[in-house]
Structure 1
Amino acid sequence: MAAGHSVEGVDPQRWEKTVDRVMARVADAFTRAEPRRTARDYVAGLLSATERKNCWWLAEHAGHAGPDAMQRLLRTARWDAAEVRDEVRAVVVERLAHPDGVLICDETGFLKKGVHSAGVQRQYTGTAGRVENAQVGVFLSYASRHGRALIDRRLYLPAKTWCADRDRCTAAGIPEDTAFATKPALAAQMVYAALDAQVPATWVTADEVYGVNTAFRAGLRARAMGYVLAVACDQHVSTGAGRVRVDVLAAALPRQAWQRHSAGDGSKGPRDYDCAWVGINPDQPWPADDRWLLIRRHRRTGELAFYLCRAPTLVGLGRLVRVAGTRWAVEESFQAGKSQVGLDHYQVRSWTGWHRHTVLAMLALAVLTVLVADARDATPSPRDREGRELLELTTNEIRHLLNVLITRPARRLIDYLSWSTWRRAHQARARRLHYRRRCAG
């Protein structure tokens, strides 16, 4: 265990207490001590520097004799993933809460081989940038000036290849009452659940998949939410001159209609755009419908982006631009989730396994998010002992320090050799079975 001193926001004892506190929050979701201990080992493994974060590697990291306990945790152990999800959301919101918070909806793909993983099919995924054999999860992220993190998720089930095939759903453990839902419908479910849980948010933002969906926008208006939702260039809007395509409307704007605004700082500096807004739906009383079309133009390439907007109160153009710019936060969360806590490293096929692994990965990411927010509050302008400016602590740096200072296990040589033997024996058996199936075919 590291000593309890603090250097430029690095406080191992405080970090360990934070990890303990967060894990204690989810303890009641586990009815028995064994899955509770295994879940803690699982999350510790997700936070570790382990190369792969599936059950084999996580069990080895935890010092287990085999992967059975980890696999049982995801498959058959009795615990409530929805309750853990609720606590993840609560932990994130308690630390990052701000009245002007933003809920961000987006999906990400999980590339897969085979046809048995719940929801898998050949479908477009932004993860690969093309059509691939993949599962797609729809996620909800919370973002504020204090940070951002994933707080909910839903597994998308394609209508024809899954929802219409009851036998296939049963084999994957999909509950019988699970009906087809579009990605916007799944996103709406998560937004409503967050609002019902009193998550402090004023805005929702999302890409075109959600922005073009009229039911999604209507549902947000019914909940009195503001939104800045991307739409395609061929979207039609109502103006005083009638219905018109948004790209045609943008082309007709005079030069003085454009103003420079910041969408917030990015990893490479300020993200400034030329922006314009146009009032739409003039025949509808405020705030009954979409109120503005926001047009954002890249200052170097001239590329245009279009957003339908509604605000619960009167706001300026700059506020809408900043909300639109918040959408990048969910991409950062996906990147951190996959590269740092193994969001996509699972090797389970079932509906239950997917939801359990993803919520534990979200829990691990929430731990890092809380630690980052705490460190930045403690040391808002970090410098080293010579007075040189330091970059603020990031999730990646804190995860590295966690492993160096707190969670890295002391392992014996025999442990590594035993696991090597176990893996090779398992792989040899899998190869024999594979060859046998090929020969039989």
Structure 2
Amino acid sequence: MTTFQETVAVEATIAERAWGRVFGAAMGAIADCFARREARGTAAELTTGLLLEVDTRNCWTLAEALGHPGPHRLQHLLSRARFDHELARDRIARLVIDELAGAEMVLVVDETGDAKSSTDCVGAGPQYSGALGGVGLCQVAVHLAAVTGTARVPLDRALYLPADWAADEERRMLAGVPEEVVFATKPQQAVTMVAAALAAGIQASSFAADEVYGGRELRREIRTLNLGYAVGVAATHPVTDGAGRPWRARQMLNKVPAEQWMRMATGHGSKGAREYDWAWLAVRADDTPDSQEPGTSVLVARRHRYTGELSYFRCWSPGPVALATVVEIICRRWKIEETFQLAKGHTGLDQGQVTCWNSWMRWSLFSLIATGVLALTLAAAGQETGAARPARLIPLTCPELVRLLRALVLPAPVRDRDHVLHWIAWRRRHQADATACRQRRHRLQDAP
């Protein structure tokens, strides 16, 4: 045990140093995106505050934990401060490029939903969300992440506006939605974010996503951007074999002999190595852009080793490719789910309680910056400590890194008696005012 504790102590020192360097680089990268020094300082406080040990994360709780007398500074930063959040996103992408230089990178897209109680929140409406397990009143956002063999870093996000919301001029005006923002499908938002990331200098070889992004138009656009892809498709997805015969994905994979299924480890979970059976067949590309070679187009199936459940993926590469390489790209898509868990559990991605466009864009940006700094810190620390780690000690994880940072680097939430009493009084007074305003509004609506 002493050896393990000494190893962890060394890792803690390395992680502390890496955090200071990466966090400083991130704040320096976005420094000139602010018009005033005060807003820049508040942004650093907010990014740090998102990682503090608090019950929930919003302007009220973070302001109390940071020692502010009220939430006004944080609210001003999110809603009214002169801050170019789009430029800040590009600067963070440049930081990711510098930190992960030379690593084989896959761009991964997925969406996640946040439950809401009112359609007054920008983009909120009855819609499907996997995070909610069905249809509910929620906001849905499409996210883009860069995934390497050692890191998964969020790069961008786009709030999905349902068609009725995007066409409602009154709600758009109240929420401050810019005029240039119009209705776009999730695949269209994904392509826009991927193109912006590549324009910012991200060096990626492939794109990965689930069934929502398996349509022909998106695949064609991804190929236009000179990326390979591995996207999920339904069992009924139409494909064409080499002889020109049409099939459904399920029917075509039934042709694979039992001995051609290959078992491969696809990562490690809390219960050990994940292993699935894999098979693939060549299919004709149906998404070749003009003046581009057909490349290598395959249909891949994944079978659960116990239940036999099948999943299907359509994959394309500009040149010959091995099944192990395709499987690696497919498996990297799962990493964005871990990124969502980290962002929601430790950096408040779904807890902001913001209602307007500017506030949502900025809250989500700072949450993704905090998540990205954690991921880059973990990757940097892992490079220094990987070879010296005992075999019976798993690699340092992001949740453990957060615990280390809270103990060694981050300021403790302010808990002195006078400050706590001040905030209890502040909250009760403002909640009373809100209740009175709500009751007055109800009376006015009920009046003849």
TM-score using structure 1 length: 0.93
1:48 Cα shift? 0.9
1:9 Cα shift? 1.4
Give the 3 Å change call, closer, same or farther, for CA 303–143 of structure 1 in structure 2: same
What CA distance in whole angstroms lies between the structure 1 residues aligned with 2:301 and 2:116?
A: 37
Matched, 1:85 2:94: no
Q: Match for 1:401 among 400, 404, 407?
A: 404
The 5 Å alignment of 1:254-403 reads 254-281=257-284, 287-288=293-294, 291-381=297-387, 389-403=392-406
* Superimposed CA distance per residue, residues 380-416 of structure 1 (whole angstroms, 9 cap, x where no aligned partner): 1565xxx784332222122222122122246532111
Give the 3 Å change call, closer, same or farther, for CA 330–300 of structure 1 in structure 2: same
Worse-superposed segment, 287-296 or 236-245:
287-296
2:178 aligned residue? 175
2:100 aligned residue? 96
Q: Structure 2: any 5+ residue segments left out of the alignment?
A: 1-6
8 Å contact kept, 1:108–1:136? yes
Q: Structure 1: any 5+ residue segments left out of the alignment?
A: none
1:196 aligned residue? 199
8 Å contact kept, 1:98–1:145? no
8 Å contact kept, 1:59–1:67? yes
Q: Match for 1:214 among 213, 216, 229?
A: 216
What CA distance in whole angstroms lies between the structure 1 residues aligned with 2:281 and 2:72?
A: 59
Q: Match for 1:138 among 142, 149, 152?
A: 142
Give the 3 Å change call, closer, same or farther, for CA 400–282 of structure 1 in structure 2: closer
Q: Match for 2:52 among 48, 53, 68?
A: 48
Give the 3 Å change call, closer, same or farther, for CA 366–439 of structure 1 in structure 2: same
8 Å contact kept, 1:85–1:359? yes
2:41 aligned residue? 37
1:69 aligned residue? 73
1:184 aligned residue? 187
What CA distance in whole angstroms lies between the structure 1 residues aligned with 2:103 and 2:151?
A: 14
Give the 3 Å change call, closer, same or farther, for CA 266–286 of structure 1 in structure 2: farther
* Superimposed CA distance per residue, residues 241-287 of structure 1 (whole angstroms, 9 cap, x where no aligned partner): 51111111122322233222233333433222211111111798984
Give the number of aligned pairs. 432
1:229 Cα shift? 0.6
What CA distance in whole angstroms lies between the structure 2 residues aligned with 1:98 and 1:267?
A: 29
Matched, 1:23 2:27: yes
Report the secondary structure of 2:337's partner residue.
helix
The 5 Å alignment of 1:421-440 reads 421-440=425-444
Aligned CA-pair RMSD:
2.1
What CA distance in whole angstroms lies between the structure 2 residues aligned with 1:278 and 1:356?
A: 45
Report the secondary structure of 2:325's partner residue.
helix
What CA distance in whole angstroms lies between the structure 2 residues aligned with 1:249 and 1:18?
A: 48
Q: Which amino acid aligns with 1:291?
A: S
TM-score using structure 2 length: 0.91
What CA distance in whole angstroms lies between the structure 2 residues aligned with 1:171 and 1:260?
A: 54
What CA distance in whole angstroms lies between the structure 1 residues aligned with 2:179 and 2:383?
A: 47
1:439 Cα shift? 4.3
1:22 Cα shift? 2.0
Q: Match for 2:227 among 213, 225, 228?
A: 225
Report the secondary structure of 2:311's partner residue.
strand
Report the secondary structure of 1:326's partner residue.
helix
Q: Which amino acid aligns with 1:230?
A: G
Report the secondary structure of 2:12's partner residue.
coil
Q: Which amino acid aligns with 2:41?
A: R
Q: Match for 1:234 among 219, 222, 236?
A: 236
Matched, 1:250 2:253: yes
1:7 aligned residue? 9
Q: Which amino acid aligns with 2:326?
A: L
What CA distance in whole angstroms lies between the structure 2 residues aligned with 1:411 and 1:431?
A: 27
1:330 Cα shift? 0.2
Give the 3 Å change call, closer, same or farther, for CA 112–7 of structure 1 in structure 2: same
Q: Which amino acid aligns with 1:107?
A: E
What CA distance in whole angstroms lies between the structure 1 residues aligned with 2:252 and 2:328?
A: 22
1:365 Cα shift? 0.7
